[in-house]
Amino acid sequence: MSSRSYIEDNELDNSLFEESYTEEDYEILEEDENQLEELAEQKEAGEETSLVPYDPLRRYLLEISKYPLLSKEEEQNLALAYKEKKDPRAAYLLVVSNLRLVVKIAMEYQKTWRTDLMDLIQEGNIGLVQAVKKFDPLKGIRLSYYASFWIKAYILKYILDNWRLVKIGTTQAQRRLFFNLQKEKARLTSLGYIPDPRHLAEVLEVREKDIVEMNERLALPEKSLDAPAVDDYRYPIKEILAVSDIPIDQKLSDEEAKELFQKKLEEFHETLTGKERYIFENRMIAEHPKTLQEIGEIYGITRERARQIEAKV
């Protein structure tokens, strides 16, 4: 099982969720959390009067509704206790009192991305725990505001990592476009417009080419590894894929080292001129390197002189 990668403070891409909260918004958040509590109670009442299949979300809502919301003063005292004394009980109370906030945020993303809600809640809870660890009560903001960024960051990362077998976005710009594009397309569709690439590019302030490329990536169908490699072929894809015993983290590390080495080669190449550059290009890094004799004949020098230049490089 691969280890989970955690998000650091400088990795939070706030442009993905540009909402800013005021004190009034905190009251709205609390109202939403109370609504979730009422929903859980309604579901519990329904369970008592009829036989229904087991619903993990219903059970989860019921469980987290048992934890009361904290007042601003209670939150401040608990946060200070954890910050100054690493009190585990304080951290626990800070986490469980905000579990309903995670559900609220997860439900918002689930509407757009159609991802399993319990998976989003699980990832959001991890973000909440990280937020509690990093929260500074002396900054004068509520934990719900601060934690919302961490919760969203973990949920967004999960969506991106699981949207395709091969990641859709590999750079910060691509990740931002991935999320904003889906949101803007949904907004335009709800208004009765057909979202075309040119209009989307203007609204999102990116190149039309970037919109087209991202749309093409999103449109690519996912294929099961159990499916036949080609029509009428009896072996599934997974049986003809090359098997490697190299761990994925080592593969990524090797690839990163390879890219760094290539970059250094290119930088070194730019510093060379004349015979040194020719020898570097046509002998040292060439797929079919020339012999020292051939290089000597091209420049009218001896084989030994060509060897000396090569050694100098």
Cα distance between residue 309 and residue 313, in whole Å: 6
Is it true that 9-163 and 248-312 share their CATH fold?
A: no
Q: What is the pLDDT of residues 202-226, one digit of tens each?
A: 888 888 888 888 777 766 555 545 5
Task: Give the torsion sign (CA, 273, 276, 278, 282).
Answer: negative
**Distance separating the N- and C-terminal Cα atoms of the chain:** 46
Cα distance between residue 38 and residue 30, in whole Å: 12
Model confidence at 227: pLDDT above 90: no
Q: Which fold has domain 248-312?
A: Arc Repressor Mutant, subunit A (1.10.10)
Tokens standing for residue 296 = 């000597």
Output the pTM of the full model: 0.48
Inter-axis angle of helices 99-113 and 117-134, to 10 degrees? 140
Tokens standing for residue 110 = 């689930």
Any idea where the domains of the chain sit in the sequence?
9-163, 168-242, 248-312
Tokens standing for residue 153 = 């960051």
Q: What is the pLDDT of residues 67-76, one digit of tens each?
A: 999 999 999 9
Task: Answer yes or no: CATH 1.10.287 is held by domain 168-242.
Answer: no
Cα distance between residue 295 and residue 98, in whole Å: 72
Per-residue pLDDT, 150: 92
Confidence band of 52 (pLDDT split at 50, 70, 90): low
Q: Which fold has domain 9-163?
A: Four Helix Bundle (Hemerythrin (Met), subunit A) (1.20.120)
Model confidence at 96: pLDDT above 80: yes
Tokens standing for residue 301 = 């020098």
DSSP conformation class of 246: S
Do residues 226 and 236 lie in contact, with contact meaning Cβ atoms separated by under 8 Å? yes
